[in-house]
Amino acid sequence: KLKPEPNVSLIAGNAMKPDALASCMAGSMASIFVSCTYGEGEMPEMIAKAWEFFESSDDALFADKNLKYAVFGLCSSRYDVGDQYNRAARRFDRRLEELGGQRMVEVGAGDDQNSEGYRGALDPWLEQLMPKLFATGAAKTSLLDPPEPLFKINLAPSSHSNTNFRPLPPCYHFISLESFKSCVSEGYERPAGVFNFSLKDTGLIYKCGDHLAILPRNPTESVDSILALYGETLQGSQLLTIQTMDVNADCPFPKVLSIRELLTQYLDLCGRPSRQFFKLMFMFARGGETRKRLRSLFERDSKDSISQEEFDTYTDQNTYADVLCEFAKEALPPFEYLLSMIPLNTPRFYSIASSPLDGEEKLELLVVKNMWNDSAKKARVGLNTKYMFEQSKPGDLFAVQIHTGILQPPEEEEDLDTPVIMLGLGAGLAPFVGFLQHRQGQMKKLRDEALAEGSEPKKLGPATLYFGTRHRAHDYYLEDYFQECLKDGSLTAIYTAFSRDGLSPSGKKQYIYNAITENPLGFAKGLELDKAPEESKSNKARCYYCGSANGIPEAIQDSMMEALVSKDGLAMRRERAKEYMDLLVNIDKRFHSECF
């Protein structure tokens, strides 16, 4: 609503050559950066080139250029390991200042774990930024007319009654589920198991340690509840085409799809509603009471708004689908608007728990069903794991992508003798199941090569696995497989920590990091620190942790230090142990963690 309308360009981080981007920034009224943080605190691939350019540029790049800038980071406090939280955005922000830019507002951190998602931080950040951008202050959006919808829907004349009609989501591949095998005792409260997918004829390939991203599907009951609201005008089997009104944006939907498929695969019906959603509902609302209630849900800190705590409680207990049903009588938006009001389903990531060396054109995941109680003590299940555990069956198609993972096992021939320590907590065991399958494949390859040459097969370095879970009797996942690996030598030693089974023999809580100090000699052997220097590969040993963050990678490093100096182990001098840990963690960066 500003006059004259500001000319805003939205530029993808890799859309321009970095020097052209810098000139564009220098010639603009202001530049606003939005970036996530990748992997272990790195820049996302999309802005890697731009970052390289800014990092290596002369410090006077923007001196006298009057560059005004602001940076907003998209991050998750769940990955808060070391200084990784929002690191890419913070580094960008600092570097632009060094280059002579003028920071308009402090760097923002849109935390995925906030009850309002990234918007929880974005809205207040924008409130600070807008007056700096526009001297007159940013005009508030009108509450009278809903904005134009972002997508236009055209209903096709005929309906498609074949319920199996599943167009491929853009940028995804379909893979089919072959089988599922539970990994927990029967009736155990936290189901977990291995999902086996076939890659035959898909053309998909992956590397050990990669991730599978799955686009989740909404439960039938949520989809039906929305279809019932629009039942007079629309039917689930009706086909439609969707056109995006933003000419610069890619359309996230397939060319043709049914209404049921749109609601099942694309719109995040079971997500947590945002203030923006309530605001748009308000614009369609008629009755005074309904308008009052909706206003109280989108306004912050006004006389009409409810407290943040009440807002959080309400959105914790109600999904987009629930809210639409609750207010349908007096505030049902035209169907077309749902595509602008409800965010798109986002893929869920899984560490691949198999290896391509297996040679069977399959891909396996080790998945734990995500269950929690909401603030009304109602049992809830995560969207994707609900679908996987409760609705999927062999032959079902999953829309997936393969992404490069953070944890990669030693692969080069000269690195195969590297000692490897793997620490998996709960579902964090998954990548290491893949590592072990990979080692079995590598061993077979070395044996075959040796046989052909008539020589002795080369040996892999030792592999030690630490596994933290709850109960030995219920969720010691894949115990039989690990025994098999110990026998064939792909696994050298395994140490377990069952956190709900009481204390360890030495009276400590059974946590994964305590399993290291419980057996300090075993740990030192895992790194080959017990061997004579000329025989030991301890200086290239790698440690991998996968599981929740919560300070665990740091606690593991502390335990490693204690194990090295322990009298029951090698009784290393503290200084020497510190040196070793510093080399491993900070200098060579051979301690990798993947937290979720």
Ligand X SMILES: Cc1cc2nc3c(=O)[nH]c(=O)nc-3n(C[C@H](O)[C@H](O)[C@H](O)COP(=O)(O)OP(=O)(O)OC[C@H]3O[C@@H](n4cnc5c(N)ncnc54)[C@H](O)[C@@H]3O)c2cc1C
**What is the contact surface with ligand X in residues (CB under 6 A)?**
211, 216, 272, 316, 319, 348-351, 365-368, 370, 372, 374, 382-385, 427, 430, 594, 596
Q: Which CB sits closer to ligand X, 374 or 449?
A: 374
Q: Which CB sits closer to ligand X, 108 or 117?
A: 117
Neighbours of 286 (CB within 10 A): 10
Q: Which CB sits closer to ligand X, 43 or 67?
A: 43
Q: Which CB sits closer to ligand X, 225 or 319?
A: 319
CB 468 to ligand X: min, Å:
14
The answer to whether 472 and 497 have CB atoms below 8 angstroms apart is no
Q: Which CB sits closer to ligand X, 348 or 439?
A: 348
215 Cβ contact partners less than 8 Å away, ≥ 6 residues apart: 169, 172, 265, 345, 347, 398, 399, 400
Q: Which CB sits closer to ligand X, 133 or 281?
A: 281
CA angle 221, 180, 359 (to 5 degrees): 135
Gyration radius from the chain CA atoms:
27
492 Cβ contact partners less than 8 Å away, ≥ 6 residues apart: 462, 463, 464, 486, 526
Q: Which CB sits closer to ligand X, 430 or 516?
A: 430
Question: Both tokens of residue 364?
Answer: 């396996």
CB 199 to ligand X: min, Å:
17
Q: Which CB sits closer to ligand X, 65 or 119?
A: 119
CB 274 to ligand X: min, Å:
12
CB 141 to ligand X: min, Å:
26
Q: Which CB sits closer to ligand X, 316 or 330?
A: 316
The closest of 318, 324, 317 to 341, measured between CA atoms, is 324
Q: Which residue has the closest beta carbon to ligand X?
A: 382
What DSSP element (H or E) covers 434? helix 430-453
Please give the C-alpha separations between residue 320 and each of 333, 341, 343, 369, 587, in angstroms, as whole numbers.
13, 9, 10, 22, 47
CB 442 to ligand X: min, Å:
22
CB 596 to ligand X: min, Å:
3
CB < 8 Å & 24+ apart, contacts of 442-449: 442/357, 442/416, 443/488, 443/489, 443/490, 444/357, 445/357, 446/416
The SS3 call for residue 540 is helix
CB 472 to ligand X: min, Å:
20
Exposure class string for 296-325: b at 16+ Cβ within 10 A, else e: bbbbeeeeebbeeeebbbbbeebbbbbbbb
Q: Which CB sits closer to ligand X, 351 or 490?
A: 351
CB 48 to ligand X: min, Å:
19
Q: Which CB sits closer to ligand X, 242 or 465?
A: 465
Q: What is the largest CA-CA distance in the chain?
A: 87
Phi, psi of 391 (to 5 degrees): -120, -30
Q: Which residue has the tokens 């236009």?
A: 152
CB 547 to ligand X: min, Å:
9
CB 480 to ligand X: min, Å:
20
Concatenated DSSP letters of 304-364: TPPPHHHHHHHHHH--HHHHHHHHHHHHPPPHHHHHHHSPBP-PEEEEB-S-GGG-SSEEE
Neighbours of 94 (CB within 10 A): 13
Q: Which CB sits closer to ligand X, 53 or 349?
A: 349
Q: Which residue has the tokens 């997918």?
A: 197
CB 587 to ligand X: min, Å:
26
CB 515 to ligand X: min, Å:
20
What DSSP element (H or E) covers 73? strand 68-75
